[in-house]
Structure 1
Amino acid sequence: MQSSLPRFARTAALLLVAMLLCLQPAQAALVKIGVFSPEGFAAGMQRWQPSADYLAQQLPAHRFQVLPYQDLGELEQDARRGKFDFVLTHPASFVQLEQQAGLLRLLTRRHRDGAQQHAHAAVVIFTRADNRRIQGLADFARTPFVATRGQDYSSWQLVRLELQRLGQDPDHAFSGVTFAGHSEAVLDAVMRGDYPAGAMAARDFDRFLRQGRISPQAVRILEASETADFPFRFSGRLYPQWPLGVLPDTPAELRQAVQQSLLALPEGHAALQAGDYAGWQPADNYQAVRPILSKSLSRHVVERQLSVANLWLEQHRQTLLITLAFTLLAWLLVRLFGPAAQTRPRL
């Protein structure tokens, strides 16, 4: 019996050490990037995995995993739960997560259209040229309207921003809003006369003009604008392009390394071609997008505050397990070799 206690202690200590080693992270730390991909999972992987592969080459101590989400609400929920290190989503979603999850601006995506690079997004709100009743955004008078998708930043989301900028309530500006799914369907619906007006991304509208799908004389852009900073005509004003955000718990060293690597992405790199973008620039100012915050924001904030304890436990589960293991090991050693053990009668 005298020799059984040390043998038991050694066995227990070895088991606890083995458990601690299993809890240690792998040599190549996993970095998760949540991506909003309205075209679906496969399209999101095809578009953004090359950019993740580039980061892995630049930062070999890390593995970068792209997680595409077609459902924007699901992406935002997982971001609030801290399931990512970085998030790539459209600005309207970003300003929500900035408030709800503490998301921080890191970079803004750049586009190339022809010979021009820019970091802007814009919408075209248009009607048929023979529709004389609608001359501007104040003339809808609860008429029906058609756009691509409710989650499309460069379509319906920018329409909402333009209406709010003019002092109108987007939820009551039309008798109904139909989401046709893609720009071609929006164009056909307006040109057939099914809807008096519709909206799509400015670059899509310009593409239809260049392809001859419509003639400039057949359509009229409402609140038309143009500027040397943007290659297309558009409605209202320009807005910033998609940001890459970083969760507040992501280590500062990793943030800086990712930012520097993406800013140094070589022109013509395969990642740029796969992602259909021209590169990155320091984060833009997204103040112009803040009015799009939904009326339910306060409810989301309250929900986040109510669940903060659960989220904290989920994010720090590994640290808690390691601490518990060390506490158990210390308790076991004290029980076996402490003063009480020394005074225990021996048989």
Structure 2
Amino acid sequence: MPYTLSSFTRTASLMLMAGVLCLQPAQAALVKIGVFSPEGFATGMQRWQPSADYLGQQIPGHRFQVLPYQNLGELEDDARRGKFDFVLTHPASFVQLEQQTGLIRLLTRRQRDGARQYAHAAVVIFTRADNRSIQEPADLARTPFVTTTAQDYSSWQLVRLEMERLGQDLEHALSGIKFAGHSEAVLDAVMRGEYPAGAMAARDFDRFLNQGRISLPAVKILEASETPGFPFRYTGRLYPQWPLGVLPDTPVELRQAVEQSLLTLPEGHAALEAGHYAGWQPADNYHAVRPLLSKSLSRHVVERQLNVANLWLEQHRQSLLITLVLTLLVWLGVRLFSPPQRPSRS
């Protein structure tokens, strides 16, 4: 068949179109990062989307999207449903998801306070200096207590860990717990004598000292500790900072690329400024957080299984009833209309 001009033109056009398509970048794969954001959706986006954009710049062919959750339960439910590739949440939440979904710890976030950097969290449990009835955490038994919020890792969650470490049963140790919402309210409630003891994040307590809101002679830190490399006084012991976790179904290559990109995030980068953090380091050991969750985790799993079972029964109640009725009718029909058995002849 002769190779005509028209066939040549058509072939050239197809080759040109193929070349253009090859030059066009493939559609970027969407990577979702679930983030616990107690401050709300808008603040979560402002803090963490710049870090996600940095990852998109470092890892070709991928677009990273932050999904902030103010409700911790909703974040954990969606993580169990596999709606994310990565999850950034506080350690108490992480160890639950670790056991329930196989979440893998990838990195630990480093915090900053001015020029100081640290990779641990700690709580301050304190009273007024003139309170002689409370000298150590064990004296908190049957004592009214004030703290920030139930989901605050660096406050109430660490109080629970400290009480667990001391062998105290929280359900009977404190006579009443007030969640004041923020550290300023906790400080005012204790210093005015409304509550004999309270707790807040060590960084917040240090900030109030530097601001002159309180002075060390006026307060008493229970089981006070100091550690080189950690810039604040605190109660008890140090615990790991927030981890970045990865769901087990996330490709290993993507996991490694994210890890390497965040470990080499340049100091002073805009993502660090927006997120108010210092950077990342290899994942810490979160074993110290797990003992607190063993009982509550089992109860949570059982309650969730019961809720799923109840929901399934509610959704299929009508079909189950119809099936039961039809089964009974068939059984009665067989019994009524089947011929009687003749006695066997011996």
The verdict on a shared fold, with TM-score over 0.5 as the criterion, is yes
Determine if the alignment matches structure 1 residue 204 to structure 2 residue 175.
no
In the alignment, is the contact (CA less than 8 A) between 1:38 and 1:69 conserved in 2?
yes
State the Cα deviation string for residues 303-328 of structure 1 (Å, max 9, x = none).
778999xxxxxxxxxxxxxxxxxxxx
Determine if the alignment matches structure 1 residue 29 to structure 2 residue 37.
no
Determine if the alignment matches structure 1 residue 138 to structure 2 residue 135.
no
CA distance in 1, matches of 2:221, 2:279: 30
In the alignment, is the contact (CA less than 8 A) between 1:100 and 1:304 conserved in 2?
no
CA distance in 2, matches of 1:88, 1:245: 6
Partner of 2:74: 74
TM-score by length of structure 1 reads 0.79
Partner of 1:231: 231
Partner of 1:289: 289
Partner of 1:151: 151
Bigger shift: residues 195-204 or 109-118: 109-118
Partner of 1:213: 213
The secondary structure found in structure 1 opposite 2:226 is: strand
Partner of 2:169: 169
The secondary structure found in structure 2 opposite 1:281 is: strand
Partner of 1:195: 195
In the alignment, is the contact (CA less than 8 A) between 1:225 and 1:236 conserved in 2?
yes
State the Cα deviation string for residues 33-74 of structure 1 (Å, max 9, x = none).
000011111111111111011111111311111011111111
Say which one has the larger Rg: 2
**How far does residue 113 in structure 1 lie from its aligned partner after superposition?**
2.5
AA paired with 2:122? A
Bigger shift: residues 202-211 or 56-65: 56-65
AA paired with 1:253? E
The secondary structure found in structure 1 opposite 2:187 is: helix
**How far does residue 31 in structure 1 lie from its aligned partner after superposition?**
0.5
Partner of 2:340: none
Partner of 1:325: none
Partner of 2:125: 125
In the alignment, is the contact (CA less than 8 A) between 1:34 and 1:68 conserved in 2?
yes
In the alignment, is the contact (CA less than 8 A) between 1:106 and 1:282 conserved in 2?
yes
**How far does residue 215 in structure 1 lie from its aligned partner after superposition?**
1.1
CA distance in 2, matches of 1:72, 1:294: 18
The secondary structure found in structure 1 opposite 2:64 is: strand
Kindly tell me: are residues 307 and 131 of structure 1, through their superposed partners in 2, closer, same or farther at Cα, counting changes over 3 Å?
closer
AA paired with 2:98? E
**How far does residue 297 in structure 1 lie from its aligned partner after superposition?**
1.7
- Alignment gaps of 5+ in structure 2: 1-25, 309-346
AA paired with 2:92? A
Determine if the alignment matches structure 1 residue 46 to structure 2 residue 63.
no
RMSD (CA atoms): 1.7
The secondary structure found in structure 2 opposite 1:213 is: coil
AA paired with 2:263? L
CA distance in 1, matches of 2:304, 2:191: 45
CA distance in 1, matches of 2:240, 2:287: 9
CA distance in 2, matches of 1:59, 1:88: 19
AA paired with 1:76? E
AA paired with 2:53? D
- After TM superposition, what 4+ stretches of structure 1 lie above 3 angstroms from structure 2? 299-308
Bigger shift: residues 289-298 or 213-222: 289-298
State the Cα deviation string for residues 263-311 of structure 1 (Å, max 9, x = none).
0100000110111110000000001111121524224445778999xxx
Kindly tell me: are residues 189 and 305 of structure 1, through their superposed partners in 2, closer, same or farther at Cα, counting changes over 3 Å?
closer
- More contact order relative to length (CA 8 Å, sep ≥ 6): 1
In the alignment, is the contact (CA less than 8 A) between 1:36 and 1:88 conserved in 2?
yes
The count of corresponding residues between Structure 1 and Structure 2 is 283
TM-score by length of structure 2 reads 0.79
Partner of 2:13: none
Counting aligned pairs with the same residue, the percent is 85
Partner of 2:270: 270
In the alignment, is the contact (CA less than 8 A) between 1:35 and 1:69 conserved in 2?
yes
Matched ranges for 1:62-101 at <5 A: 62-101=62-101
Bigger shift: residues 56-65 or 247-256: 56-65
- Alignment gaps of 5+ in structure 1: 1-25, 309-347
